[in-house]
Structure 1
Amino acid sequence: MIDETAQQLNERFYRQIPMTRHMGLRITAWDGQVLRMDAPLAPNINDKGTGFAGSLATLATFAAWAAATLLAEKITAQACEAAVFESDIRYLLPVNGDFYVEVPVPEEEAMQAFKGSLQNRGRAKLALNAVIFQDGEEKVRYRGRYAVRVRPSQGSIE
């Protein structure tokens, strides 16, 4: 579902992290439970004609970062900042065509802990998983841990 909300999110994140536009990364769905971000192979190709590992890692890291940011802003109704502080990535199969990543919202217990810490302390940590697919086939697995906080300026959500 690409809709006006996804388009607004893309424009916002392109402003915040310009390289994502150059890579062709774009949110194509966000329903509050799963974030999907798509990417074309052409600007992310390596010397072997497959997806560049750095581009794949960037897609997974960025998509999870976007999900962490959106989840925090939904909870607080304020602008929030997220930063990855730990990650692990497994390249399972080469990517040789356009690809996409899906980032599901963590289970209820993890979300409750995240919400409680964010509301009580203005900051929290959240672990997110992401899977990169090509034509429905799993190619890359990612797990990242994110530190999230309410933006100090208390600015509005862009």
Structure 2
Amino acid sequence: MFRVVTPKTEEQLEAYFTFRWTYLRQPWNFPPGSEKDEYEQVAEHRMLVNGAGEIVACGRVHMNTAEEAQIRHIAVHANYHRRGLGQMILGALENVARELGAIRAVTNSRETSIDFFSSCGFAVEREAPNELGMLKRQQMVKKLTDLSSLILHPKWCKELQDTWTDTIPITEHMGIKLHQYSGKTLETRASLNKNINVHGTMFAGSIFSLATLTGWGLIYLQLKERQLSGDIVLGDGNIHYHKPVTMKPRAICNIESLSGKFTLVEKNKKSRFTLQVDILDDESPVAEFKGVYWVLPAGSPVDEGA
């Protein structure tokens, strides 16, 4: 499972800048230190780490003006390409930009990265100055005011949200909303005020419900990706709570944690899926949910064990 982290300690920052140099400067024989510029102190830095705490992707955002954010230095570990981690770190940086008040984001993309940024909603605006005097770049722009840009397949995501609202009305009262879907990662959020207990924190039952629905939702969207259908039911769920939720409840499920056989669904047979959902309070991990779900042929009776 992957999570977004803000490097804060001296050790974290050293690892973050070393990662940036390794993937963005060393291949062109630039010395250590060339990965830094004059904006480091005023920028927001983010890195993506795996379950072992190792950095697998990184990126940075800073404000050019009160309304424009510039995204730079996105890099993904060579062993983790084509897993959606570039989109994941970019999405995290765009969210930071929105929270800082930006209504548009710009990035100066190398020629090899134009297709990636285009697939994430950016468009080439003009030629940008060469990087370090030799690497040709294009300035690309994306509006951040259109929240649908957060979501891949908005029609499917709306269907999922409507399904929750129509069949599980309590989700509306809990303020559970689909926040982001990249094709690889699903993030949902809930209202703390609507789920607060006498201690001023989120009800444990509400956290469990948020996690359960997020896992259910990822399977729903993955079925859509494969043009499959079926009835999804929770077979078993276990959650470990580490800290209370006191600010911003978030649930994230990554396709890397999903295990199961869609081939059985294709054959109209029952199939078992397992996955993990991470619960965060803003950026702090607070709980992990591990669920077992069953996808049943549409319209079939639900077994007691499913």
Shorter-chain-normalised TM-score: which range? 0.7 to 0.9
Alignment correspondent of 1:57: 208
Cα displacement string for residues 14-36 of structure 1 (whole angstroms, at most 9, x for unaligned residues): 11211111100000111221110
CA RMSD of aligned residues (A): 2.0
Q: How does 1:1-158 map to 2 (within 5 A)?
A: 1-2=150-151, 4-5=154-155, 6-75=157-226, 77-106=227-256, 110=259, 113-152=260-299
Count, aligned residues: 149
Amino acid at match of 1:16: T
Could you tell me how far apart the structure 2 residues matched to 1:17 and 1:86 are?
19
**Distance in 1 (alpha carbons) for counterparts of 2:151 and 2:222:** 19
Provide structure 2 residue ranges, at least 5 long, that are not aligned to the other structure: 1-149, 301-306
Tell me by how many angstroms 1:85 deviates.
Answer: 0.9
Offset from partner CA, 1:48-93 (integer Å, 9 cap, x none): 1101000000000111011122222332x24421111111100010
Instruction: Sort the Cα spacing of 1:117 and 1:64 in 2 relative to 1 into closer, same or farther, 3 A.
Output: same
Higher gyration radius (CA): 2
TM-score, scaled relative to structure 1:
0.84
Q: Distance in 2 between matches of 1:136 and 1:40?
A: 16
Runs of 4+ in 1 over 4 A off after TM superposition: none
Q: 1:86 to 1:8 in 2, by over 3 A?
A: closer
1:156 aligned partner: none
CA distance in 2, matches of 1:99, 1:35: 14
The 1-side partners of 2:233 and 2:181 are apart by 20
- State whether residues 69 and 148 of structure 1, in contact with CA within 8 Å, keep that contact through their aligned partners in structure 2: no
CA contact under 8 A between 2:165 and 2:172: conserved in structure 1?
A: yes
Structure 2-normalised TM-score? 0.45
Give secondary structure in 2 for the equivalent of 1:20: helix
